[in-house]
Amino acid sequence: MIIDIVTIFPEFFDAFINTSIMKRAQAQGLVKINCHQLRDYSVRKNNYIDDTPYGGGSGMLMQFPPFYKVINQLRTPDTKVILLSPQGQMFNQEKAINFSKIKHLILLCGHYEGIDARVLEFVDEEISIGNYVLTGGEIPAMILSDAIVRLVPGVIDELSRETDSLQNGWLKYPQYTKPDSYEGRQVPEILKSGHHKNIEDWRQKESIKATYEKRPDLIKDLKLSKKEETILAEIKAEKNK
């Protein structure tokens, strides 16, 4: 997978792409991340890339020509161009999974008051990370890259990836490590039992319980199995006692 990030602050990504899993994924040849300085594609002297908006208004707007040039230079038949924007569809785990299967992503980072709307003709999808406005698209680009790269086969352990929160729609079950007792707080006995089927059942119930208690909004979008419906009904009954 190749991720090309277009930004006026490429140095913003130095530590991010050279640390931890992002660094290891690149060292293993599984992912290649490139940062492109948008100013290098400016059509004006002094590499300016912004100007005042037609029709008036406050602030400066990023110009269309630099984005047009960089997209046309980088785009291939396998490319998906993503604009990080508060007007986009909300990013979630399902989108991360889908994006991780794409060979080449171009992430466009806006700044100032936004980007000349003509760029939208060359964008495949607008993505938002939440209902709020940031000063630029750099942090959202990091979030997308991190969520996507860890799903690329070989980057992290497959079992770890498959049991992540939201990977199958549910939040992850609670986890514990040594010591098994500290200041009166105990690790659940079932996790020390060695009975794998009972542990698996406990984890499934705790996963459903965590989702019901913390993010009930997620459940309405899930197609529940008979077993999941039964577990959820038990949890609701226990809560209503």
> Which residues carry out catalysis?
86, 113, 150, 164
Separation of alpha carbons 69 and 62, rounded Å: 13
Q: Could you please report the per-residue DSSP string of 106-121?
A: EEEE-BTT-B-GGGGG
Separation of alpha carbons 206 and 202, rounded Å: 6
| Cα radius of gyration (the chain) | 23
Query: Are 219 and 232 within 8 A, CB to CB?
Result: yes
Task: Read off φ and ψ for residue 94, nearest 5 degrees.
Answer: -60, -40
DSSP letter assigned to residue 80: E
Tokens of 34: 């490139």
Task: Read off φ and ψ for residue 192, nearest 5 degrees.
Answer: -105, 5
Helices (H), the chain: 14-17, 20-27, 64-74, 93-99, 138-149, 158-162, 196-214, 226-239
Instruction: Kindly state the greatest CA–CA separation across the chain.
Output: 72
